[in-house]
């Protein structure tokens, strides 16, 4: 397909991230999005290599900083479909400040976090999502910390689209990515994606047994219902948990407040290169 480049992923055989890459590809193909209309922006981590494996625009940014970069890309290029990708370490530890603010800011883009409850790239340390008791080189007596309830956190922070999936649930994940792209605002999907090398505790068998589907008749517009099901399942539930279609995206709110100017125009005013000003600033800071 048009999205495949000739770079072979260097993920370990069996890594969950292959499934996430395939699901993103299926979703953009199903939506008939051309490679030149897509940007995949990532942070740092095994998961964040994903951007390099798409034939599309992209940037492999710095640790925890995929979101500020991706939001800037979206604001300056309103017609581009922007998908930011991270791992649970990148998104919920060093990047958590950005993540919380992106939830409440509501820029119209998609954020996919590959959640394997461990730092893979740095060879197996506890992440903010690690289970209590998880033994690693840095936690030889097991982790003593409570894992972060990320979907509840997202809802509490004002996220307007919160979903969760498992990379082997291909159809569910592809559908959710499609819905996330259709959502007019910031769409967040936490995707369980096992690290077969450094997390033997939360492997394929674990997720297969632990994860539940949403109950029959679940209403994803009901905030209280979303929080209730997350509480009852200890966060181990997949599907579209919460969507608020009443709030304006950041771009639309900004345009309204300014009597109509497109945010791209506003961004352009700010970043418009001005040689004189640039040289003046450089001289000041010399
Ligand atoms: Fe995947 Fe883990 Fe290997 Fe990284 S170390 S590529 S997360 S299996
Ligand atoms: Mg991780």
Residue 259 domain-assigned (yes or no): no
15: Cβ below 6 Å to ligand 1?
yes
DSSP H or E stretch at residue 278:
helix 275-284
The ipTM of this complex is 0.98
Q: Domain span at residue 238?
A: 17-247
Q: State the distance from the centre of ligand 1 to the C-alpha of 29, rounded, in angstroms.
A: 26
Count of domains for the chain: 1
Residue nearest to atom 6 of ligand 1 (CA): 11
Evaluate whether residue 263 is within a structural domain. no
| pTM over cut 0.90 | yes
Kindly state the tokens that stand for 251. 């771009």
Task: Give whole-number Cα distances, 221 to 2, 181, 246, in Å.
Answer: 35, 17, 10
Alpha helices in the chain (DSSP H): 17-30, 66-76, 88-89, 96-105, 150-156, 170-182, 204-210, 223-232, 250-257, 263-271, 275-284
Count CB neighbours of 30 within 10 A.
Answer: 13
In a domain, 271, yes or no: no
Q: What is the pLDDT along the chain (286 residues), one digit of tens a residue?
A: 678 888 999 999 999 999 999 999 999 999 999 999 999 999 999 999 999 999 999 999 999 999 999 999 999 898 999 999 999 999 999 999 999 999 999 999 999 999 999 999 999 999 999 999 999 999 999 999 999 999 999 999 999 999 999 999 999 999 999 999 999 999 999 999 999 999 999 999 999 999 999 999 999 999 999 999 999 999 999 999 999 999 999 999 988 876 765 656 656 555 556 788 878 888 988 8
Q: What is the C-alpha separation between 167 and 170, in angstroms, rounded?
A: 6
On whether residue 284 sits in a domain, the answer given is: no
User: Is residue 269 one of the residues assigned to a domain?
Assistant: no
Asked whether residue 252 is assigned to any structural domain, the reply reads no
Query: Do the domain assignments include residue 268?
Result: no
Question: Does 73 map to a domain?
Answer: yes
| CATH number of domain containing 235 | 3.40.50.970
* Whether the CB of 135 sits within 6 Å of ligand 1: no
């Amino acid at each position: 397909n048009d999205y495949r480049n000739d770079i072979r992923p260097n993920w370990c055989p069996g890594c969950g991230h292959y499934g996430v890459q395939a699901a993103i590809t299926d979703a953009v193909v199903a939506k008939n999005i051309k490679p030149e209309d897509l940007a995949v922006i990532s942070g740092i981590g095994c998961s964040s290599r994903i951007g390099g494996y798409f034939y599309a625009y992209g940037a492999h940014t710095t640790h925890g900083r995929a979101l500020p970069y991706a939001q800037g890309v979206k604001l300056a290029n309103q017609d581009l479909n922007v998908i930011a990708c991270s791992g649970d370490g990148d998104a919920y530890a060093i990047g958590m400040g950005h993540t919380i603010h992106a939830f409440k800011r509501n820029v119209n883009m998609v954020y996919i976090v590959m959640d394997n409850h461990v730092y893979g790239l740095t060879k197996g340390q506890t992440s903010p999502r690690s289970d209590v008791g998880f033994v690693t080189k840095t936690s030889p007596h097991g982790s003593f910390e409570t894992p972060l309830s990320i979907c509840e956190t997202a809802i509490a922070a004002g996220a307007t689209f919160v979903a969760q999936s498992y990379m082997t649930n291909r159809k569910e994940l592809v559908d959710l990515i499609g819905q996330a792209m259709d959502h007019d605002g910031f769409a967040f999907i936490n995707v369980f994606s096992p690290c077969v090398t450094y997390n033997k505790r939360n492997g394929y068998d674990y997720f297969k047994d632990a994860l539940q589907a949403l109950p029959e008749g679940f209403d994803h517009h009901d905030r209280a219902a979303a929080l209730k099901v997350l509480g009852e399942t200890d966060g181990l539930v997949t599907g579209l948990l919460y969507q608020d279609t009443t709030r304006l995206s950041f771009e639309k709110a900004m345009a309204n407040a300014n009597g109509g100017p497109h945010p791209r125009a506003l961004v352009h005013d700010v970043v418009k290169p001005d040689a004189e000003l640039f040289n003046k600033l450089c001289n000041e800071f010399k």
